[in-house]
Chain A
Amino acid sequence: MEPAAVLDNNHHLSYHELPYIIRWREDRCTRCGRCTAVCPVKAIEPSVMVQRLVMSDGKTPMPSMVRHVMHVVRQVTDIERYCTGCGTCTLVCPNMAIEPEYNPHNKFLTHKNRGGVSYKRGGRRNDPSVSTVDKLKFTRISMLTDPALDAGRHEFHVRTLLGRNLPPEELPLKTENGKLVVDRESGRFVPPVREIFPIRIGSMSIGALSPPMWEGLAMGVTYLNEVEGIPVVMCSGEGGLPPRLLKSRFLKYFIIQIASGYFGWDEIIHALPDMVEDPCAIEIKYGQGAKPGDGGLLMAYKVLKLIAKIRGVPMYVDLASPPTHQTQYSIEEAVAKMIQSMSMAWGFRVPVYPKISGTKTAKAVLNNLARNPYAAALCIDGEDGGTGAAYNVSMDKMGHPIVSNIRECYLDLVKQGRQNELPLIAAGGMGKRGNLAANAAAMIMLGASAVDTGKYMMQATAGCFGDEYNRCNLCNTGRCPRGITTQDPSLYRRLDADKVAERVVEVFKSAETEFKKIFAPMGRSTQLPIGMSDGLSVGDKAIADRLQIDYAC
């Protein structure tokens, strides 16, 4: 041990190395301790500071000294307790006395590997620049050339089809007494197709999300279907579904995901005989845009009764989703057999499709699927997707942007003349800057049939603090200050499922209006303008060339 006297600030970090600096105003603070009580990472703590003043009040130098020891709120400079900028302190402060301020000069990543442990976090890619999809503009406006539509007045049918659409010549139809009827004797397989709203809530599992967050989303989706008549669907994520939902008629609004951990699947299979409705679809997850090629781990301390029951596992065990499906060895075999098994489980009445990470090899997967009569769609999750937990390096540096990936796949289908047969679903970064409907519309016009959104939903419906400046992003720690991604009741009870549901409804109603505002001036109302890329322009020549769209400036 070093003698006390020689220890000073050796090996200490200054808060300038940290991503957020706490601005605390001594003049406003009442020392009520609300901020220090709520800080999820204990990045601030009450402490003492001393003020020592030597004054001279006389006509000649007459020093007198005053010494005050004050109680203060101080930022901790321990890298393990860095301020994440979530701003919960600001939220609870009655006097606007405290707030974290982003520090653009931080050297956080330089230091955040103590013990040789790489930085892990939740959230999204820390890239605040304008994404390609946000650069796209809708420039084909019907101005006297063809009838413009009125978003408020005209009836719009903002719906998309999830499932394989057979070309007319493959439909089992025949004429009977001069009328077109279904030829039931043809033996041809007619793939199941769902008509849904083109923005879906992407896969977020029970476990990644807290009970009120997941239930709030589920309730909102059900409300949209049952009350508002907007057929929004959501994906379960890999964490099973509660039996109460599996056995309810609301199941039809949910896409059930199966991933490499197969969590909850025995419970789902047990519930099959009691299901009164088929699920909307089955999504087979092969990859995730935020952390391509990486798996997941739900840590043992989060596996409480609820998670354990729903996933059909004991409490307090680590739940690992391996990076790859363990029983599958090639793309041909993997995809085909998974799609067949899942289709079979519901008597081929449910669309089954895979979800992959955005990748240069997406076209190979697509072409495989195009030849598979049971494949219902292809969902591609681009690099801007979010996650509950991943290595920072995976999130920031791994992955493929979604825009050119989807475009390339769509144009490939066009080349084969099959663009209306296999729907493409785009995910990752939709609504990254708040423009959910615009992003979705742009992706649709590039060739996607639908888009998925996840992070946006957390931000819009539950006030998630996370952003591209690495704000908060505590999802992996179980300490989510909003109660969104935690299994700790003292945190998730902060979240009101009804309020989440209400916001879900508001978000989708508003998105529908925005869709109309985009599609009306383009003269589209009854059919989604999938692949209507002549309506798009971009002010970047390289992007325009790559996407084969118009360059406008």
Chain B
Amino acid sequence: MLAPRKSVAKNKKIMATKKKTAKKKTMTSGKKVVIRGNVNGNRVPSKMLEEQIQEAVRDGARNIDITANGQHGIGGRIWPRGEKVSITVEGPVGQRLGSMGMHGTEIIVRGSASDDVGWINCGARITVLGDVTNGAHNAGAQGILYVQGSGGARCDTMTKYNPRFEPLQSWYLRDVGDSFAEFKAGGTAVVCGINPRNPDNILGYRPCVGMVGGTIYFRGPIREYSENDVQIVDLSATDWDWLVGNMKTFLKAVDRIDYYDELTRSTGDWKKIIAYTPAERAAGRKLKMPLTGFREKIWEKTVGRGGIFGEYLDYPQTILPYITTGENRRNRPVWVNDKYAPPCSANCPSGIPSRKRASLIRQGKLEEALELVLRYSPFPASVCGQVCPNLCMQACTRGLVDRPLNIKEYGRVSLNLPTPKPAKPTGNKVAVIGGGPAGLSAAWQLALKGHTVNLYETEDKIGGKLELCIPRDRLPNRILKKELSRFKEVGVRIHKGKRIKQKDFEKIYGENDIVVVACGAHQPRTLKFPGSEDVVPGIEFLKDINFGNAPDLKARKVVVIGAGNVGMDIACQAYDCGAKSVTAVDVQKPAAFGKELELAEAKGTKVLWPKITEKYDSRKKKIYFTDGTSLDADVVIISIGELPILDFLPAGIHTEKGWIVVNELGQTTDVKVFAIGDATRPGLVTHAIGQGRITADVIHAQMMQYDYMPEVKQTIPYDRIKNIYYDVEYPDTFETGEEANRCMSCGLCRDCHMCEQTCYYGAISRIGHDDGSYEYVVDDEKCIGCSFCAGICPCGVWEMVENI
């Protein structure tokens, strides 16, 4: 029934006056209004019913009886401003009864209610004397919901807590349906479990999913709650006091005070659900069982101790850090002092130990250092110091910084060294055929080792090509003479002017334990072309000069066929003999290099190639080439190499293309006969010296009956030497000590302590020995194998190896 408009206005007036006098009285004694949801069999629309209720309240109604007919949202949104408005509802209640209810509003439903009772309740007290269906108190914030029966699904979901107000309460006498308290964030729910629909589960299927706050007291069995979100705990004394304290009010409200004793009998009947705190939830993200526990209790218990591979693993099953010491290192450093050959001696055919020489000089042992060289070559001054192209210096690492170590000068300063003393005579006899560099080198080594050496030389002078062919201005005869004089001192028996014939050889072979053939190559190679008979062999030309029979070439034009280093020597000599011009021709890129080429070009020698000689017309003084060109040539000298003269050798010694066949040790096909030098293949003087020394070592071993063990060392790579330590300097003068400091000591420790200082872990230390030697050692328990020692060692003496 619609209240008349008039009366509403009248009520307003009453309210206004009474407010001033007795506010409390007004609240309790507001007039009673009845509103019907069904008028004459017609359902009043929700909108109209709401308007009637709001108008009645505005008119001062404080007791409203409503007969509902399924209208939406009855009893909510009443703003009594501190006054109390009581609403009683009967009949079929629609959804969202009491939604957005306010403090002061009291709703009693005489019977059951529909969905979403108390939706976003903001303070109303709602009593349902029956059941509530789904979604009761959904998103409720404040107020109270008393339910005499059960709750449907999704009750108490999304309930809030606002600290400005008392927390919300929801009381259910029987039980609740599925998905209870999802995303609950505040308020208290009480589920009493009286006469539940499902005696096994009073909170329905999966309650509390996403619950983050609030409290649920419940009495009875539950299942499948969201263990990730909430925990079940016992009630504290405070909880119990609250529950008991409020229980009577609830039971009175729902008219079920009879249950009071049963419900408050024991705190043990009740349990409490609370949400995990954010911190607890974060901690709870951990696994249900720690993996270590799983390994022990399930995994290894089933598959066996040590896991599935336990029976095959031979090492402790502990975890290794990335940085390890001792045997767990990936790599470890080794001090490989003198393991590698330096580039200088590795590239010296004579094997002169230049690095060791510099090292000894740095240690103040100059004499020892220089004498050392005589153990390798009898010609340090003549060869190292004069004629050698010094392959050692070309290879010298110092050349990467500025200029190679001046090894040539070291050779020169060795000229006046005292002759070493030969060892005790052994009684072994060796014949050396040929007194050139190769034969002399072998004789020198063998004599020093105490063997009797007979040396046979065709010419009247020993020295071979050093004496016969090399221009005197490249090798002053004074120096050569001085070095040749040493041979007598070491006891080499020299037989000069003795051309060996086959018979002589047989005799020598029979009289000696070993014969070394070092006869050199003295048969000029020639070419056949028209006029070739008028061509002068180069070796004869050079010999004539060194023997004092220099030809007069004044104003002559000279052509040299063959532009190798000998060709260059010839060119120089020709100029010295007065030649107007010298042209050297070759069929291919000339082989001449180094000093010889420089000198010849400095004197004016022209080098032409490719030129293949067609003919020489000695009448016209012209040489013609196959490309149609020609040159004026008063004299033509040919220098395209020489072959050895081997007519004295027995047939048992193999030769090939004119050369004696030997292996790298100088051994021929006859075990008693060795061959070295140009008789085996053309080479530099230093090659001949080296072959002489190695062959002498082999012969010595053979005669003394032990196995020859050549010292084979790899050459140290250049990048192992840290040349950055050395400042660029181009010294003007040569001083033995200063120069030795320039040596970068490739592969040989300089004892600089750089590694010791650099090691971050102090793992490297130097140990000095009584004999003056020393070593650097590593403490494996400190070393992590970082390779800093190896990376920064100036000499490349530290090396990293796999730590197996």
Chain A residues engaging chain B, CB cutoff 8 angstroms: 1, 3-5, 7, 30-34, 36-38, 45-50, 67, 69, 71, 88, 91-92, 152-153, 155, 211, 214-215, 218-219, 222-223, 226-228, 242, 244-245, 248-250, 305-306, 309-310, 489-490, 493-499, 501-502, 505-506
Contact = CB atoms under 8 A, between A and B. Distances in A.
A248 B302 contact: yes
B318 interface: yes
19 contacts: A5-B399, A7-B718, A31-B760, A45-B791, A46-B790, A46-B792, A67-B727, A153-B206, A153-B210, A211-B309, A215-B309, A223-B287, A244-B303, A244-B304, A244-B307, A244-B309, A305-B312, A305-B314, A494-B320
A498 B295 contact: yes
Contacts of B398: 4
Contacts of A91: 322
A214 B314 CA distance: 17
B313 interface: yes
Contacts of B309: 211, 214-215, 242, 244, 306
B785 interface: yes
Contact of A153 (B182, B302, B400): B182
Interface residues of B, number: 63
B289 interface: yes
Interface stretch (B21-29, B38-46, B323-331, B659-667): B323-331
A69 B718 contact: no
Contacts of B400: 4-5, 7
Nearest to A495: B319
Contacts of A49: 724
Nearest to B298: A226
Contact of B785 (A5, A37, A211): A37
A523 to B, nearest CB: 18
Contacts of A244: 303-304, 307-311
Query: Closest 8 interchain pairs by CB?
Result: A33-B786, A46-B791, A5-B399, A3-B394, A493-B320, A306-B312, A37-B786, A46-B788
Interface in B395-445: 395-400, 404
B303 A250 contact: yes
Interface of B: 179, 182, 206, 209-210, 287-289, 291-292, 294-295, 298-299, 302-304, 307-315, 318-324, 328-331, 343, 347, 394-400, 404, 718, 722, 724-725, 727, 758, 760, 784-788, 790-792, 803
B310 A4 contact: no
A155 B209 CA distance: 11
Contact of A490 (B307, B324, B790): B324
B792 A36 contact: no
A33 B788 contact: yes
B787 A45 contact: yes
Contacts of A45: 787, 791
Contacts of A497: 307
A226 B758 CA distance: 54
B253 to A, nearest CB: 32
Given A48-B722, A223-B291, A245-B308, A31 B395 contact: no
Contacts of A47: 722, 791-792
Given A91-B322, A499-B291, 19 more contacts: A1-B343, A4-B400, A5-B404, A7-B400, A7-B718, A31-B760, A33-B784, A37-B331, A48-B792, A153-B206, A227-B288, A228-B287, A242-B309, A242-B311, A306-B312, A490-B320, A490-B329, A505-B291, A506-B287
B756 to A, nearest CB: 13
Contacts of A506: 287
Contacts of B784: 33-34, 37
A71 B758 CA distance: 8
Contacts of B396: 4
Nearest to B287: A505
Contacts of B394: 3-5
B307 A501 contact: no
Residue from A5, A214, A223, A505 whose CB has the most chain B CB atoms within 10 Å: A5
Nearest to B330: A490
B179 A219 contact: no
B183 to A, nearest CB: 9
Given A1-B347, A67-B727, A152 B322 contact: no
A218 B788 contact: no
A275 to B, nearest CB: 13
A200 B804 CA distance: 38
Residue from A33, A50, A152, A219 whose CB has the most chain B CB atoms within 10 Å: A33
A71 B307 contact: no
B528 to A, nearest CB: 38
Nearest to A73: B791
Nearest to A5: B399
A502 B291 CA distance: 6
Contacts of A37: 323, 329-331, 784-787
A3 B790 CA distance: 25
Nearest to A249: B302
A91 B321 CA distance: 12
A33 B311 contact: no
B308 A501 contact: no
A31 B313 contact: no
